[in-house]
Amino acid sequence: MNRIEQRFKALSQDGRKALIPYVMAGDPSLAETVPLMHALVKAGADLIELGVPFSDPMADGPVIQAAGERALAQGVSLQDVLGLLHQFRTNDTGTPVLLMGYLNPIEIMGYDTFADAAASAGVDGVLTVDLPPEESDPLLSALDRVGLDAIFLTAPTTSDLRLERIAGAARGFIYYVSLKGVTGSNAIDTDEVQDKLGKLRALTDLPLGVGFGIATPEAAAEVGAYADAVVVGSALVRRVGEFGSDPERMRHEVCELLGGMRAALDAA
C-alpha cells in the first residue's frame, strides 16, 4: 500500500475529503518550491500535485501556462523537479505527491529510467495529461514495477466505454475534469459531475477526485459533498504569480485560500 492509498484510506476512516493543491515546480523559483509545498501541507493539503513545466501544454489555462513559462525561463527540467522531491522528502515522508505533466519529457528520459528516478525521489503517482489509456501500457508497466500509481483524467465528454477502460487502467484515484475546457474555467455543471461520478463508482472502488473550476471555499465544499477529493490549481497558482516577488507574502496568500477550503470541506 503506497502513500496515496494510505492517505485516502485514513481520510475515509475519518469521514473527511482529500484536498489536493496544484503548484508548478519552479514557480516562482526552484528555491521557493519546496518551502511552498511544506506550507501547503501545514495549511491542510492531503496530497500535493506538482506540475512539471512543459513548452506545449494542452490542458492548462492561461494562469498555469504562465506559471510554466516562468519556470521554463529559469531552465527548470524534469530532472530538477525530481530533485525538488528529494529535498521535500528530507522533512516530509508522509504526504503523497503526484507529478502532473506531459509525455514528451518522460519519453525523452525513457520510461524505465523515469520510473526508477521518480520512485527514488519519493514520487507516489504520475498524471500524464496527453497519454490516452489505449497507449499507456509501456508507461504503466514501468510505473507498476516500482509501485507508482498512474492517475488518469476523465471528462464530461468521456464515453461510457472509455470510462470503463480508464477505470481498469487507473491506480490511486481517478481525476474527473469537471467542465469542458482548460484549467481556470469556472462553470461547473454539478448535476453533470454527479452523474458522471455515479457512472465511475459503478466501475471502480478507487477514490474520485474533481478538479478544474474550483476557486473558492464554497465551491470546494459543494464539490466535496459528492467527490472523495477536491483539486485546486489555478486559484492558487494565480496568487503565486501575483506575489512571487515576496515569497513570505506569497505563501501567506496561497495558504490563506487553501486553509479556507480546508475549513469549508471539514465543516461540510
- Contacts of 31-35 with CB under 8 Å at 24 or more apart are 32/244, 32/247, 32/250, 33/84, 34/84, 34/87, 34/88, 35/247, 35/251
Per the DSSP assignment, residues forming a β-bridge with 208 are: 174
All three cell numbers of 19: 484536498
Q: Is-contact 92 7, C-beta < 8 A?
A: no
What cell does 241 get?
A: 504569480
The answer to whether residues 258 and 21 touch, using CB atoms and an 8 Å cutoff, is yes
Catalytic residue (one of 27, 46, 60, 124): 60
Is 60 annotated in the active site?
yes
Quick one: CA dihedral 98, 101, 102, 105, positive or negative? Answer: negative
Q: What are phi and psi of 128, to 5 degrees?
A: -110, 105
* Residues in the chain, overall count: 268
Query: CA–CA separation, 18 vs 11, rounded Å?
Result: 7
Catalytic one among 27, 32, 46, 49?
49
Catalytic residue numbers read: 49, 60
